[in-house]
Amino acid sequence: MRILEVKDVNKRFGGLKALSEVNLSVEENTVHAIIGPNGAGKSTLLNCLVGKLIPDTGSVMFHGQSVLGRAPHEINQMGISRVFQTPEIFGDLTVMENMMIPCFAKRDGAFELNAISSVSSQKDIIERAEHVLEDMKMIDKRHMVASAMSRGDKRRLEIGMCLSQEPRLLLLDEPTAGMARADTNNTIDLLKEIKSKRDITIVIIEHDMHVVFSLAERITVLAQGTPLVEDTPENIKGHPKVREAYLGESSGH
């Protein structure tokens, strides 16, 4: 079953054609990677999926429902969570508080004026947040102010925050960008573990081929705003068109 269906999406920024005639379909419970050189339109495509950008033409369907024209929080409530290129967390809040907020969003929806009961009386939320923190092996850091953590831990926290909402689709925008090798490998292991433990569809944008080939079941190659090929990792590796677009090599080289 297809969970995400992108059809004939076009997006222009002034004279620049960022996306042209993009078609993409993602099968449920797979890891689908989108790769491509800088400026290929990967991030633009992702932004169109989460409501940050609205495509000029085309459609984006999630579980048979259009996401176009919906605000980011509505799209999230439909079951799409996004991890950003630079970890977006609540820096001034503690790790525990960071984890509780998505739990509130999951339980109470987009807005709930709960101004009188105290946070410490929300036992179900605390339990849920602690459970996810334990899962992410971060429970010992629960009282830390989030901005004081290392980049790897911030990334881990952000992924945990997304998972605590039990999304059906997790979007990862270069989750290992700027990470040391060890942190990158940890992230790969974490994502593998996440995938093995639950039913979740992951769409990942990545530059690092090591990450892509360790995780992805399907790969779409974008170049200059258009999908070149979509195939399994094995076939992509040797694909002449991919080598040309991605590595700047001619096929005979």
Partner 1 sequence: MFGLDKKDTMLLLLVAALTALAPFLLNPFPEGSAMAQFNAGYPDLMQRFVIFGIFAIGFNILFGLTGYLSFGHAAFLGVGSYAAVWMFKLLSMNVLPAIVLAVVMSGIFALLIGYVSLRRSGIYFSILTLAFAQMMFALAYSVLTPITGGETGLQLALDDPRILDGAVAANGNIPVPGLFGMEMRDSVQLELGAWVFTFNFGYYFSALVMLISFYIAIRIFRSPFGMMLRAIKANQQRLNYTGLNTRPYTLAAFVISGMYAGLAGALMASMDPLAGAERMFWTASGEVVLMTILGGVGTLIGPILGAGAIKYMENIISKINSDILHSWFAFLPDGLEDLLVTLVYPFIGKGWHLTLGIIFMLVVIFLPGGLVEGGQRIARLFKSKKTDRSAPKPQIEPGE
User: Binding of partner 1 at residue 189 (CB under 8 A)?
Assistant: no
User: Residues 92, 127, 193, 249: which binds partner 1 (CB under 8 A)?
Assistant: 92
Work out how close the CB of 133 gets to partner 1 at its nearest, in angstroms, rounded to a whole number.
Answer: 16
> Is 122 among the residues that bind partner 1 (CB under 8 A)?
yes
Does 9 bind partner 1 (CB under 8 A)? Our answer is no
DSSP the chain: -EEEEEEEEEEEETTEEEEEEEEEEEETT-EEEEE-STTSSHHHHHHHHHTSS--SEEEEEETTEE-TT--HHHHHHHTEEEE-SS----TTSBHHHHHHHHHHHHHH-S-----SS-GGG-HHHHHHHHHHHHHTT-GGGTTSBGGGS-HHHHHHHHHHHHHTT--SEEEEESTTTT--HHHHHHHHHHHHHHHHHS--EEEEE-S-HHHHHHH-SEEEEEETTEEEEEE-HHHHHT-HHHHHHHH---TT-
CB contact at 8 A, 136 and 157: yes
Minimum CB separation of residue 53 from partner 1 in Å reads 13
Task: Verify binding: residue 88, partner 1, rule CB under 8 A.
Answer: yes
What is the x/- site pattern for partner 1, positions 58-87, by CB under 8 A?
-------------xxx--xx---xx-x---
Binding mask 160-179 for partner 1 (x = CB under 8 A): -x---x--------------
Of the candidate residues 8, 13, 65, 91, the single one contacting partner 1 (CB under 8 A): 91
Q: Of the listed pieces 31-39, 98-106, 127-135, 231-239, which binds partner 1 according to CB under 8 A?
A: 98-106
Of the candidates 14, 15, 69, 113, which one interacts with partner 1 according to CB under 8 A? 113
Q: Is 119 in the site for partner 1 (CB under 8 A)?
A: yes
Contact between 93 and partner 1 (CB under 8 A)?
Answer: yes
According to the binding rule CB under 8 A, does residue 54 interact with partner 1? no
Tell me which amino acid residue 19 is.
L
Cα–Cα dist 247/2, whole Å: 31
* Min dist. Cβ of residue 143 to partner 1 (A): 7
* Residues at the contact surface with partner 1, assessed by CB under 8 A: 50, 71-73, 76-77, 81-82, 84, 88-93, 97, 100-102, 104-106, 108-120, 122, 125, 143, 145, 161, 165
